[in-house]
Amino acid sequence: MSALARHRRGAAGAAATALLVLTTGCGVLIGPNNGEVSDDITVTSPMLREGEKLPDRYTCGGEGMSPPLRWSGLPAATESLALVVDDVRESGAATVHWVVYGLDPDNPELPEGTVPIPAQQGMNSFETAGYEPLCPGKDDEHEFRFTVYALSEPLGLGEAAPLDVALGAIATRTLARGRLTSVP
């Protein structure tokens, strides 16, 4: 196995572990000062409804752009926000389609197809820094999750941070989270 293949395998494993911790609450997902993370953030979208089909516009079968999102209910101590968009299959396998961090907590929305300044994008499971459109499959059940994390401090990561680094940094700074879930 080449050095690059070993690196990718290791990074993928670390990213999968960090994603498991972030998304399930298993393991070590605790906020700063060892406090528990609440699910108090409300995440909505004018184009998506909880538990309903993801509109084609936001998939690989449509325009492939990121949907608009809104949030409320942030803890008073929130210094920064992060967004993780992932696709979880019935088997438990997860793919990260988008990581955005450095979102301003004073701005309660993310417009369609944009990343507002000063936010930055981390690498996703496809090894690109950007929104990788979700692709509904017919072979198994999917759950598309748009999760907003309230953070105790900015991540201090530059553009295109490695997936495992970004997810780990989000996990250690999370005060609260909220999620909007869609299906294929």
Instruction: Express each pLDDT in 82-102 by its tens digit.
Output: 999 999 887 788 899 999 999
| Spatial distance between the Cα atoms of 102 and 19, rounded to a whole number of angstroms | 18
Write out pLDDT tens, residues 13-42: 444 444 544 544 433 344 554 556 777 999
pLDDT greater at residue 91 or residue 129: 129
Check whether 107 has a pLDDT greater than 80: yes
131: domain CATH number is 3.90.280.10
pLDDT value for 36: 67
Amino acid identity of residue 7, one-letter, is: H
What residue numbers bound the domain in which 169 lies? 3-182
Tens of pLDDT, residue by residue over 133-175, are: 988 776 667 789 999 999 999 999 999 999 999 999 999 999 9
Output the pLDDT for position 157: 95
Q: How far apart are CA 127 and CA 160, in angstroms?
A: 9
Q: With contact defined as beta carbons under 8 Å apart, do 8 and 145 qualify?
A: no
**pLDDT exceeds cutoff 60 at 123:** yes
What pLDDT does 91 receive? 79
Count of domains for the chain: 1
Phi-psi region of 145 (alpha: psi -120 to 50; beta: other; left: phi over 0): beta
| Inter-CA distances, 18 with 4, 96, 173, Å | 21, 11, 13
